[in-house]
Structure 1
């Protein structure tokens, strides 16, 4: 999910989450796409089969 959605669900400011990503301090896994988009992979919100 994108930064905005994760920040909203978790109750964090979006800018704080961007800063955590820049500093590699995110509490959950994330990836940076070649376009600069950050995708957050929070197991809590990943769909289960």
Structure 2
């Protein structure tokens, strides 16, 4: 499901603007970094996904 959301967002932006929007990648990495940080601090991976 998550892969579908990522792919559809990139496809819609590229289809309408004909320009690759690199902000998607930076936002995904920011979310991954926060998830990793919370998982490391709390020790609970599933809690970090919810937050």
TM-score for both structures, normalised by structure 1:
0.28
Structure with bigger helix share is 2
Higher relative contact order (CA 8 A, sep 6+): 1
- Give the number of the structure whose residues are more often strand, by fraction: 1
